[in-house]
Amino acid sequence: MTHSIQLTHILHVVGARPNFMKVAPVLRALAMRPSVTQTLVHTGQHYDANMSGVFFQQLGIPAPNVNLSVGASSHARQTAEIMIRLEPVVQQCQPDVVVLYGDVNSTAAAAMVCAKLNVPVAHVEAGLRSFDRTMPEEINRLVTDRLSDLLLTPSLDGNQNLACEGIAPEKVAFVGNVMVDTLVRLLPLAIHMAPAGLPKRYGLLTLHRPSNVDNPDILRSILQTLSEFADEMDILFPVHPRTRQRLDEFGLNCLCRGRLRLLEPLPYLEFLGLQHGATCVITDSGGIQEETTFLGVPCLTVRENTERPATVTCGTNTLVGRNMDLLAAEIGRILAGQGKIGAKPDLWDGRAGERIADCLLERYAQGALWNLSESHTIFVPAETAQ
């Protein structure tokens, strides 16, 4: 027998920069719904002011109700520490549902905590797959999706991936890309906040993945390839703290001079303004692949795969891997005015947050995915209930 429930308390868990851009539209949409209480938990996975703190101010996110202050560590230690610190918070709050975002360690850790406490989990940005298990994020995606009760996908390839993994279709909802909501809302302001004195034509570079920055030969080859275009355009390089450390360790700062310009990590609005005006973006970031597709800016991804194939098949993204000849050739085409012209994927329209709020309230308030026992805090998946 299915019992109707009144959803009143939603707990959101975020921990790193990409999460903040995704949670903001959902918080805003749910704040407009009556009888909904929200709790925001920040694990503290990102702790640098420009990588975390200033984002809350710029995105209009309220101060977290709880900050676990986990900080940096190895993947295992960080995941374990998040679980240890989050468990008593969930037990005390007794939320009706916990909403998780993206594919960072905080996401997978929270999914495991909630699964063991029998608290329902909704995963925003579900179903994305790179099919590369050497990526920590891929492990986090697989774990989170397997443990989640409602899977909210940003693109239809996510639905297809989940179906291939045997996820029941009634657990899956295609809602669109919630990060685009934030981009749409803040782009006019971001354009005005781009750093002053920008060159007429410039490339924007971001690198942070271990596969690129932890190998001195690979990092050197990327920087040397980009330096070949110094006569044709500046390369602006906001440096992730991890990458800054590797540049120092490997003695590669000498390659970052002249028109290849190192910058400090930038807050969201300033970085978005730089993306908007860039001739091209060279990156290994997943989120930037999406943002450049929406902005119509050619993107060259220094990875062998992507969990966001819509940015390649529909958008402006091209995978160049570690083939520096291909990277150079693609930059040459862009400088010649022959860069990739893409389109926006379905439901990348700035309204995903509203659809997520609707889906949460409709599915959970109607008891669509759970049968409740007499105890309000114990949830049994409908497909296993007797």
Instruction: Cite the active site residues.
Output: 208
CA–CA dist 58, 229 (Å, integer): 34
CA atoms within 13 A on the CB side of 318: 24
Burial of 376 (0-12, 13-18, 19+ CB in 10 A): exposed
The pair of three-digit structure tokens given for residue 112, joined into one six-digit string: 């495991």
Q: Which residues pair with 348 in a beta bridge?
A: none
Burial of 259 (0-12, 13-18, 19+ CB in 10 A): middle
Give CA torsion, residues 294, 296, 300, 305, to 10 deg. 40
CA–CA dist 157, 337 (Å, integer): 30
Cα 349 to Cα 40, 61, 294: the distances in Å are: 25, 21, 9
Count of CB atoms situated within 10 Å of the CB of 366: 12
